[in-house]
Amino acid sequence: MEVIQKEWGKIGDKPVISFTLANDKGIKITCLNYGGIITKIITPDNKGNYENIVIGFDKIEPYLNNLSYFGAIIGRVAGRIKDAMFDLNGKTYILNKNENNNHLHGGLKGFNRVFWEPEIVQKEKEIAIQLSYLSVNEEEGYPGNVEIKVTYSLNNNNEFSISYGAISDQDTLLSMTNHTYFNLSGNLKRDILNHVLKIKSDQFLELDEELIPTGVILDVTNTPFDLREGKLIKEGITSNHLQIKVANGGYDHPFILNTHNDEEIMLWDLESGRTLTIETDELGVVVYTGNQLKENDMYGVSLRKYLGICLETQGLPDAIHHPNFPYYILKPGEKYSSNTIYKFSVRG
C-alpha cells in the first residue's frame, strides 16, 4: 500500500495537493487538500477493467465555481437550514444565504471551499490521509471555534472509510457528510438509471417546494421510496409520486436508516458488476440522483442529469427547526464523531 502525493494546481499562491491512496489490490482513491475533494475512485469491473467510479474534474478550476459540491467535505451542517437562521440557547443566529432564502451545505464558503491541513498516516493494515481545519467563531454565521479532523482510510479488504471528529468551545451545530457522486458504470460510460439501489429504511422525510423537510416523516410502503428489496433507480424516478416531482424528477430525500453498520445501503450496476456497500453510524442518508446537474463538458464526457448519485450519510437536514428530529448540537467538552465505510466488490 502506498500514498502518492503531487501538486495538482494552485489557487492564488496556495498549492493544491492531490493524495492518492493505493492498496495492494489496485483500488485507488484520490483526494485534494482543497475541500477534501475526492476526484477519483478506481475500482475493477467484472472483466477486470479498472476505471473511475465517481464524477470528478481533471484540474482545479472547475471546482472553484461549481455549485454541485463534487466529492467534497460538507459542513458545518449538511443540507438546508430554512430561512438561514436558527435559535440556540435563547439567541438567534443568522447564517449566510446561498440558495434562495436558505442556507445550504455550510454556506457561501463551506468546508468544500477551504484548504485543509493534510497529514499522511501509514499503519500496518491501512493507509490514510488526515485532514485538519479550524472553523472559527462566526464563520458563515455559526457560533464557536471548532477543531475538525476528517480521515480518509483505505485497507486491503477494499474498504474505504471516512471518519469525522470535532470539538468546539461553544454550543454549536455540526452535521457533516461527503458529497461524492457515484457512477459504477466506469469512466461515466452510462448514467445511473440502470443502477440498483437498496436501502434498509422504512421511513423518509417529506420535502417542501424548496427541498426543505416539512417535519413530516413518511412510510416508504407502496411508494417509489421503498428500496428495502432493491429497485432500479429509473423505476423510482419515473413515478408520478408528488415527492419525486418536488425534487425535479428524482430522489433528493433523507431516509432514516433502520440499522447501522449492517450493509444498510447497497448500490450496484448490473452491466459492470461493480457493487458499493455502505455502512455508517449516522442516523440517515440523503439520496440525491443528480436531478439538478447542468450540461457541461468534462474531459470528453457531458455532465448531465442523472450522471451520478450521492449517498450522503448524515443527520437529518434542518433538524434544528423540527422538535421531532434528533438535534446535532455539539457542546464544549463533547466530541463529534461519525464514521462511514464504503466497501467495493464485484458481482459476476
List the catalytic residues.
Answer: 179, 312
Instruction: List, in order, residues 6 or more apart from 32 with CB less than 8 Å away.
Output: 8, 16, 17, 18, 19, 39, 60
Hey, what's the cell of 67? 455549485
Half-sphere exposure of 156 (CA within 13 A, CB side): 8
- Do the Cβ atoms of 129 and 73 come closer than 8 Å? no
What cell numbers appear for 329 in the block? Answer: 448540537
**N- to C-terminal Cα distance for the chain?**
26
Instruction: List the beta bridge partners of residue 265.
Output: 199, 278
Do 338 and 281 meet the contact criterion of CB atoms below 8 Å apart? yes
Q: Could you tell me if 76 and 140 are in contact, meaning their C-beta atoms sit under 8 angstroms apart?
A: yes
Q: In this structure, are residues 172 and 330 in contact, taking their beta carbons and an 8 Å threshold?
A: yes
**SS3 of 318-338:** CHHHCCCCCCCEECCCCCEEE
Q: Greatest CA span in the chain, whole angstroms?
A: 59
For strands 284-288 and 309-314, give the pairing.
Answer: antiparallel
Query: Which of 60, 73, 83 lies closest to 6, judged by CA?
Result: 60
